[in-house]
Amino acid sequence: MKTIKSTLIILLLILSAGVFAQQTYIYVSDAGGFNNSPWQIMRYDVDGSNPQIFIPNTFFVTEGVGWPQDIVFLEDQEVVLISNLVGGRITKHNATTGAYIEDFAAVAGGPTRMKIGADDLLYVLQWSNTDNKVLRYEQDGTFVDEFTSVGVVQSIGLDWDSAGNLYVSSYGGGTVRKFDPSGNDMGLFIDTELSGPTNIWFNSGGELLVLDWTAGDIERFDASGNYLGTWASGLAQPEGIAELPNGNLLVGNGGLAQVDQFLPSGTFFETTVTSGSGGLIQPNAVVLRDAILSTSDYELNRILVTPTMGTQFEFTQQAISHFQEIQIFDVLGTLVDSVSIAEGSIWDAQRLSEGIYFMVATGESGLKTTQKIVVKK
């Protein structure tokens, strides 16, 4: 308890000291000249300052890969994965230094977006017009299967709803396709209002935000796929989205070589990473990482609940399979609730005040899994 509380108190100091402080970073994949270099992975402090080249162009050129697409940290291994459309490889790097370790996988259809699913597997999209089913890998790089029953041409955005259904966007098709939790095709979820969709993201209310690279805006759809209107406009080639602890969203504004921040309503808040900062050319992935939680005591890649914001949090299958109890702490490190997963699949946080909380579960190995959530009513 003392260790957990100390860690969370440190995190509180980091989050409350001016600008979430030195240990939370924004990582940005720079597509550069798309098919042609330069390419790089940039790192910034969470306020957009202190630009650092995390993985330089020389790595991509030397290794014969490029046009990086996405960034996934595997904290328990202390590595980060980069999907590279040029060269068709996912490369593995040291999570602290960015140094190349080895290849994670070769992907014939050209890897784009990647995400860890509720089953602990890495889901990988493919850009190809022919090889384009969603792939799954163990976190050691072992190929599992082609998850989806059909492919999605130029697939470049994925997310899950609260029921575990998978959604995949097609840039070339201007659509979003839905798959059930077993990967069976449920047909087109969205086939109007989109020109060239990239990232897709479900908010706490079950609405789907779709970044439209071609149209330069972000569109909003309800849980049934009905169009609700434009969430944000006036962008230039938006690609890359990440949620800040306060609920605001960071969005890569590719054509302007910057990363903008928006309120949950879609109202523009600020330009967090200014145009060209550190040599940034074409942001196409935006990822947040809390380095303070990256210790050998924690496994951070497990997803305990979905969604990550709201008052109703549903335990994932991996949480049910691996843990019997989950403890919830506030940012002061105070235990506010203990939940026996066997009692039900949903935790109701309605009684708690709005704010940031941490779910902590301890596995048989003694390693702790923690997930940051935001209670918002």
Domain-embedded: residue 18: no
The DSSP line for 298-344 is EE-S---EE-SEESEEEEPHHHHHH-SEEEEEETTS-EEEEEEGGG-
Q: Which domain holds residue 369?
A: 305-375
For range 289-297, the mean pLDDT: 54
207 has a pLDDT exceeding 90: yes
The verdict on residue 74 lying in a domain is yes
Domain CATH number, residue 349:
2.60.40.10
pLDDT, tens digit, 9 for 90 and up, residues 297-345: 455 557 888 888 889 998 888 788 888 888 888 765 667 888 888 656 8
Residue 256: CATH number of its domain? 2.120.10.30
What is the number of domains present in the chain?
Answer: 2
Torsion sign, CA atoms 237, 241, 246, 247: positive
Nearest 5°: the CA angle 174, 69, 91 is 145
Q: Are residues 322 and 223 in the same domain?
A: no
On whether residue 204 sits in a domain, the answer given is yes
Q: List 111's β-bridge partners, or say none.
A: 126
With a CB cutoff of 8 Å and minimum separation 6, the contacts of 66 are 32, 35, 36, 37, 39, 60, 84, 85, 86, 87
Please report whether residue 3 resides in a domain.
no
DSSP state of 292: G
Of 259, 291, 323, at which residue does a domain stop?
A: 291
Same domain, 274 and 336: no
DSSP class per residue in 180-239: -TT--EEEEEE-SS-SSEEEEEE-TTS-EEEEETTTTEEEEE-TTS-EEEEEE---SSEE
| Residues 282, 167 within the same domain | yes
CA 289: distance to chain centroid? 10
Do 143 and 281 sit in the same domain of this protein? yes
Question: Sheet containing 305-306: which strands, arranged edge to edge?
Answer: 305-306, 312-315, 346-348
Q: Are residues 41 and 178 in the same domain?
A: yes
* Residue 8 belongs to some domain of the structure: no
The reply to whether the predicted model has a pTM over 0.85 is: no
Cis ω for the linkage preceding 38 (within 30 of 0): yes
Is residue 151 located within the same domain as residue 182? yes
Mean pLDDT lowest among 115-119, 128-132, 184-188, 273-277: 115-119
300: in domain: no
Tens of pLDDT, residue by residue over 139-178, are 999 999 999 999 999 999 999 998 999 999 999 999 999 9
Are both 283 and 310 inside the same structural domain? no
Q: Are 114 and 122 in contact (CB under 8 A)?
A: yes
Is 64 domain-assigned? yes
